[in-house]
Chains A and B, each alone.
Chain A
Amino acid sequence: MKAERDFQVVNHSVRKVDAWQLATGYPSYTADLAPAGCLHVKMLWSPHAHARLRSVDIAAAERMPGVRCVLYHGNVPRHPYTTAGEGFPEPSPYDQFVFDRKVRFVGDRVAAVAAETPAQAEAALAAIRVDYEVLEPVLSLEAALAPGAPVIHDEPDAYLPIPMPYCPQENIVARVGMEDVGDFADGLARADVRLDQTFETQYVQHAPMETYVAWAALDGRNRIQITTSTQVPFHCRRLVAQALGLSVGQIRVIKPRIGGGFGSKQEVLLEDLVALFALRTRRPVLWELSRAETFTSGRTRHPIRVRVRAGVTRAGALTALGLDCTANTGAYGGHGIPVVMCCGSKVLPLYRAETVHFAGQIVYTNLPVAGAYRGFGATQAYFGTEQVMDQLAEGVGLDPLEFRLRNHIRSGETSPVFAALGEGKEGVPMTIGSCALEACLRQGAAAIGWDRRRPHTEKTGRLRRGLGMAALMQGSSIPRIDMGAASIKINDDGSFNLLVGATDLGTGSDTVLAQIAAETLGVAVDKILVYSSDTDLTPFDVGAYASSTTYLSGMAVKKAAADARGQVLRVAAAMLAAPVEGLLLEGGVIRAAPDRSVTLAQVAHYALYERDQFQIIGTASHVTEKSPPPFAAHFVEIEVDTWTGAIRPLRYVAAVDCGTPINPKLAEGQTEGAVLNGISFALTEQYLFTPKGRLKNASLEDYHLWSLRDKPPIQAILVSSFEETGPYGAKSVSEISINGAAPAIGNALYNAVGVRLHQLPFTRERVWRALQSHAPE
């Protein structure tokens, strides 16, 4: 892998800045840092999918040993808000309350206890008497959209804070879409091969190693300090203030190291209650969800039904590409609108189609709540579109690789979809800058041995192998919405404190941002001391989502570092009596000539103690004007047991264009992890419900998340490009690679045995039944 430019720090696989503390088990995570003497929170979760609370009697629970406070809808403030950590105003309905008089899924909040020990809190839950008026649950899209269906959100005070119709009486959060590009019906009519197929994705969970956890305590000024495993500290502060009717200034949010999030911690699920308990009891309060609670009451990926319509000419040109998406958002609507809009905006522009159609709707049900999950929207939509692309190619006699090479978007091109679809509003026009998708396709194909691919009709025997592929694009931040900021100041010894609001959730973004700062300041990474995500101390940042940190926050860091660098050079110029323009800053030394130099430590000392004293400190903010897509081509070889339906991935190749990989090893790690996450999504993960909407497999034993034991060989190929608008040419890398496995395995399944599945996951029984009904030749 060769970078486009010669960098000193960037594009090198330096050690993670937090490696030592994590490898040695130094207390680093939220629960590690909870003070002794914390009260412990336990929640009484709803056993019903849909019910009204006629009464809640907490008197007996309050008298239980060790119990310090019991909260329920009768003794907490009622302010509508969303748990979705998004920019303000959120493209999510304010349809939640700290507690409500109605429960809307099995696992919804009913009442909470703070007690001296977890066991005492647990015991007190059993003493809470609740009289439920059980209502008819709505457990499917069909049931939710049926005329006369029970209304899940009938509370009068819920609303959508963006200018978009909110339709809770129809169990619909919102309808989204865009004006067709061209005459879509005509585009279909003109096609020589037309397809109209519907695909469905399932409920899945992020399952980070660290479950949801937060604690809160009052400081000496009666302010609330919340330490939490969150991806969105600043949004968390704002949302907690909103939910509790407090001012933002009363709250400080600190994010320590995070044990994984994948989008789940873009939701503010615990922080309101630990803050409220701390206020009521004046004691530190810790709440940590169990794994089962995380499955049941945490956030999930939106199951989405995607209808794909597309047409192609015999010459292989796309005349039409359209998506109609219906998302199940579960009991609350957070993130539903941007997720569905991303089904279009992150998928449709990948191919140059003459006509384009997109429409979507977000539907309430009485099932677990969906939210942000790595790749959101794109993951669900690519499952269908990339299988349709293979079928179109076959329909016109083209190899799937060749078909994609002919039709994918390239540098200098645009798509009307960019301007039409944003996240919760219209998008931003964009011309593709860097694009190495063609190289990804060719290198990935060579690595997997694509030229070995033979049609399924030539395959016999019990075990049959298949090759499949998918092409992908994502985005890098949300243009004109997301903002990141950074400040950087010099210390006496020439080291720098880098303060960022950006949130490292285990991805290594603190390291990446340190590398960007180090590159700009001409120092080694160990001279950059990163402190991230403390709302009192660090500058604002929207947080870790939408593949924004490297591209958006990285550019803020680059600008802040450049600001500091300018100040360093001005001081050095004074010290060396030389013009700034002639100075060279490299390796921590500023040179005017080979024999005339000062070190950064000398510059710092001079500025801090000697003459014209001031703090060398650079600050900057950054808002993006575009969301440059990373691109990827994924290839997989699988083996299908035609007797049992079992699919075994044998080998996976993910070729990714993420611009300049700031830290190649971390970028490869992101890619491999996302691929494994995607394979697991494709083959085994799913929520299984009882007829009354209770989750049956709320444990890692029963949920079947792939681990390293299951991992096939995964080859990550970083195909370099240079994105002019990104820091040192970087784009994002974190999300894109989760989106390829499901369609690539679907295509490989067809290549192996001649059947296609339109529903995830590809369980062995589902594959076996498809084989039984298909009886391939």
Chain B
Amino acid sequence: MKIKAVRRPETPEQARDWARELGEQALYVAGGTGLHFMTDPAEMVAIPLDRIGLRGVECSGRHYRIGALTPLADVMNYRAERWAFHETGRRTATHQIRNISTVGGNICRVFPWCDLPVALLALEATMVLLGDDGYAVPADDYFASQPARRLANGDLLLAVDVPVLEAHMGFGYRKEVICHSGFSLMTVAARLRLEGDRIRDARVAAGAALPFPARLKQVEALLADQPATPDTFARAATEGVREVAWKGREDWSDAYAAHAAAIAVRDALDRALTFARRRDW
């Protein structure tokens, strides 16, 4: 693309208004991780969002609110009780990219291998947006289709609310890459809620080897109300991913991607279980 002008808003509302005014020519510059793939030669007006705030992580008691312009490096470095999202930040790209790219930049235009959507689906996050007014969209809805289309009218992502992990909850995240700086070939995130030695419920999501990040509802169903044991995880991981159309990329065949999915689900569940038991307040 070619940038023909730059407008620097002072508030989210001003950014939204300018984006609506400019229509298809508007381009938010906000730490996007997909710019590399935007090869459209059209002339655009850049709207850098560096003056509108929306940066930082705060805990409200029930959830952590992550400003849309929070760099991934800040997500990685943030530490608090019942917070697990830093694991995802740590595995995203490289230091240099984490310093520049933002949470919003990673989830406003979603590519199959994007890191955060998978975790946000599993964590049951909520996206806070600015349209005519503020409104909230659960992750399941937000990631049901390409968010960029939802935001095409100039709506602005303000924040992401990630629920605090309650007692007996655990989170696990797996990302398979060929080299550390490579895009994910398989991403799986899992959130378990235990009740004694049994799994009360689970949310499991996957990406990278799917056309779009998605919940693995069959896996979740196979886990619900089952004993939290390696055998349960193995069965859920093996049977629960069988019907999914896994897509291998680069040097992975589809068959291997399916195999890798089962292993990654199992590993993520193992990690979530360890997490849940460690947080058995």
Instruction: Point out residues on A near B: beta carbons under 8 Å.
Output: 643-644, 684, 686, 688, 697, 701-702, 704-707, 709-710, 763-765, 768-769
Chain B residue nearest to A699 (CB atoms) is B36
Contact: B253 with A684, CB < 8 Å?
no
> Known contacts A702-B250, A763-B251; is A684 also within 8 Å of B256 by CB?
no
Contact: B179 with A765, CB < 8 Å?
no
User: 25 A-B Cβ contacts within 8 A?
Assistant: A644-B176, A644-B263, A684-B178, A684-B179, A688-B250, A688-B251, A697-B250, A701-B182, A701-B183, A704-B179, A704-B182, A705-B179, A707-B179, A707-B180, A707-B181, A709-B94, A709-B180, A709-B181, A710-B179, A710-B180, A764-B256, A765-B251, A765-B256, A768-B256, A768-B259
A726 to chain B, nearest CB (A): 37
B206 to chain A, nearest CB (A): 15
Contact: B183 with A686, CB < 8 Å?
no
**Contact residues in A for B182 (Cβ distance below 8 Å):** 701, 704
Contact: A643 with B263, CB < 8 Å?
yes
Contact: B260 with A704, CB < 8 Å?
no
B185 to chain A, nearest CB (A): 10
User: Does chain A have a CB within 8 A of B252?
Assistant: yes
**Contact residues in B for A697 (Cβ distance below 8 Å):** 250
B281 to chain A, nearest CB (A): 31
**Contact residues in A for B263 (Cβ distance below 8 Å):** 643-644
- Expressed in whole angstroms, the Cα–Cα distance for A701 and B183 within the complex equals 7
Given contacts A643-B263, A764-B256, A768-B256, 19 further A-B contacts (CB under 8 A): A644-B260, A644-B263, A686-B251, A688-B251, A701-B182, A701-B183, A702-B250, A704-B178, A704-B182, A704-B250, A709-B179, A709-B180, A709-B181, A710-B179, A763-B251, A765-B251, A765-B256, A768-B259, A769-B256
**Contact residues in B for A686 (Cβ distance below 8 Å):** 251
Chain B residue nearest to A646 (CB atoms) is B176
- Expressed in whole angstroms, the Cα–Cα distance for A697 and B253 within the complex equals 15
Report whether over half of chain B's contact residues are helix, strand or loop; otherwise say mixed: loop
Chain A residue nearest to B256 (CB atoms) is A765
Instruction: Point out residues on B near A: beta carbons under 8 Å.
Output: 94, 176, 178-183, 250-253, 256, 259-260, 263
**Contact residues in A for B179 (Cβ distance below 8 Å):** 684, 704-707, 709-710
Chain A residue nearest to B250 (CB atoms) is A702
Chain A residue nearest to B262 (CB atoms) is A643
**Contact residues in B for A764 (Cβ distance below 8 Å):** 256
Residue with the greatest number of chain A CB neighbours at <10 A, chosen from B176, B182, B183, B251: B251
**Contact residues in A for B180 (Cβ distance below 8 Å):** 707, 709-710
A683 to chain B, nearest CB (A): 8
Chain A residue nearest to B185 (CB atoms) is A764
Chain A residue nearest to B266 (CB atoms) is A643
Chain B residue nearest to A697 (CB atoms) is B250
Chain B residue nearest to A688 (CB atoms) is B251
Chain A residue nearest to B260 (CB atoms) is A644
**Contact residues in B for A710 (Cβ distance below 8 Å):** 179-180
**Contact residues in A for B260 (Cβ distance below 8 Å):** 644
**Contact residues in B for A763 (Cβ distance below 8 Å):** 251
9 A-B pairs with least C-beta separation: A709-B180, A765-B256, A704-B178, A704-B179, A643-B263, A710-B180, A763-B251, A684-B178, A644-B263
Chain A residue nearest to B177 (CB atoms) is A704
**Contact residues in B for A704 (Cβ distance below 8 Å):** 178-179, 182, 250
**Contact residues in A for B253 (Cβ distance below 8 Å):** 765
- Expressed in whole angstroms, the Cα–Cα distance for A384 and B259 within the complex equals 30
B191 to chain A, nearest CB (A): 23
- Expressed in whole angstroms, the Cα–Cα distance for A688 and B248 within the complex equals 14
A743 to chain B, nearest CB (A): 21
B73 to chain A, nearest CB (A): 15
Chain A residue nearest to B252 (CB atoms) is A765
- Expressed in whole angstroms, the Cα–Cα distance for A704 and B179 within the complex equals 6
B260 to chain A, nearest CB (A): 6
- Expressed in whole angstroms, the Cα–Cα distance for A232 and B226 within the complex equals 68
A766 to chain B, nearest CB (A): 8
**Contact residues in A for B256 (Cβ distance below 8 Å):** 764-765, 768-769
**Contact residues in B for A688 (Cβ distance below 8 Å):** 250-251
A710 to chain B, nearest CB (A): 5
A392 to chain B, nearest CB (A): 31
- Expressed in whole angstroms, the Cα–Cα distance for A709 and B256 within the complex equals 25
Chain A residue nearest to B249 (CB atoms) is A702
Residue with the greatest number of chain B CB neighbours at <10 A, chosen from A643, A697, A705: A643
- Expressed in whole angstroms, the Cα–Cα distance for A709 and B176 within the complex equals 15
**Contact residues in A for B259 (Cβ distance below 8 Å):** 644, 768
- Expressed in whole angstroms, the Cα–Cα distance for A134 and B182 within the complex equals 36
A8 to chain B, nearest CB (A): 42
A704 to chain B, nearest CB (A): 4
A291 to chain B, nearest CB (A): 12
A560 to chain B, nearest CB (A): 45
Chain B residue nearest to A644 (CB atoms) is B263
- Expressed in whole angstroms, the Cα–Cα distance for A565 and B178 within the complex equals 55
Residue with the greatest number of chain B CB neighbours at <10 A, chosen from A644, A688, A706: A644
- Expressed in whole angstroms, the Cα–Cα distance for A768 and B258 within the complex equals 13
B155 to chain A, nearest CB (A): 30
- Expressed in whole angstroms, the Cα–Cα distance for A705 and B179 within the complex equals 7
Chain A residue nearest to B182 (CB atoms) is A704
**Contact residues in B for A701 (Cβ distance below 8 Å):** 182-183
**Contact residues in B for A643 (Cβ distance below 8 Å):** 263
A261 to chain B, nearest CB (A): 22
**Contact residues in A for B94 (Cβ distance below 8 Å):** 709
Chain A residue nearest to B2 (CB atoms) is A119
**Contact residues in A for B176 (Cβ distance below 8 Å):** 644
A770 to chain B, nearest CB (A): 13
B264 to chain A, nearest CB (A): 9
- Expressed in whole angstroms, the Cα–Cα distance for A697 and B250 within the complex equals 8
Chain A residue nearest to B36 (CB atoms) is A701
- Expressed in whole angstroms, the Cα–Cα distance for A423 and B175 within the complex equals 47
B106 to chain A, nearest CB (A): 16
- Expressed in whole angstroms, the Cα–Cα distance for A686 and B178 within the complex equals 12
- Expressed in whole angstroms, the Cα–Cα distance for A704 and B180 within the complex equals 9
Chain A residue nearest to B178 (CB atoms) is A704
B233 to chain A, nearest CB (A): 13
- Expressed in whole angstroms, the Cα–Cα distance for A709 and B179 within the complex equals 8
- Expressed in whole angstroms, the Cα–Cα distance for A764 and B94 within the complex equals 22
- Expressed in whole angstroms, the Cα–Cα distance for A260 and B260 within the complex equals 36
- Expressed in whole angstroms, the Cα–Cα distance for A684 and B252 within the complex equals 12
- Expressed in whole angstroms, the Cα–Cα distance for A643 and B181 within the complex equals 23
**Contact residues in A for B181 (Cβ distance below 8 Å):** 707, 709
B188 to chain A, nearest CB (A): 13
**Contact residues in B for A706 (Cβ distance below 8 Å):** 179
A123 to chain B, nearest CB (A): 11
Residue with the greatest number of chain A CB neighbours at <10 A, chosen from B94, B183, B263: B263
B108 to chain A, nearest CB (A): 21
A679 to chain B, nearest CB (A): 11
A207 to chain B, nearest CB (A): 12
- Expressed in whole angstroms, the Cα–Cα distance for A768 and B178 within the complex equals 15
- Expressed in whole angstroms, the Cα–Cα distance for A710 and B179 within the complex equals 7
- Expressed in whole angstroms, the Cα–Cα distance for A765 and B178 within the complex equals 11
Chain B residue nearest to A709 (CB atoms) is B180
A546 to chain B, nearest CB (A): 30
**Contact residues in B for A765 (Cβ distance below 8 Å):** 251-253, 256
Chain B residue nearest to A683 (CB atoms) is B178
- Expressed in whole angstroms, the Cα–Cα distance for A702 and B260 within the complex equals 19
Chain B residue nearest to A711 (CB atoms) is B180
Residue with the greatest number of chain A CB neighbours at <10 A, chosen from B94, B253, B260: B260
**Contact residues in B for A768 (Cβ distance below 8 Å):** 256, 259
- Expressed in whole angstroms, the Cα–Cα distance for A702 and B178 within the complex equals 9
**Contact residues in A for B178 (Cβ distance below 8 Å):** 684, 704
A649 to chain B, nearest CB (A): 13
- Expressed in whole angstroms, the Cα–Cα distance for A400 and B259 within the complex equals 35
**Contact residues in A for B183 (Cβ distance below 8 Å):** 701
Chain B residue nearest to A765 (CB atoms) is B256
- Expressed in whole angstroms, the Cα–Cα distance for A686 and B253 within the complex equals 15
B16 to chain A, nearest CB (A): 33
- Expressed in whole angstroms, the Cα–Cα distance for A701 and B178 within the complex equals 10
**Contact residues in B for A709 (Cβ distance below 8 Å):** 94, 179-181
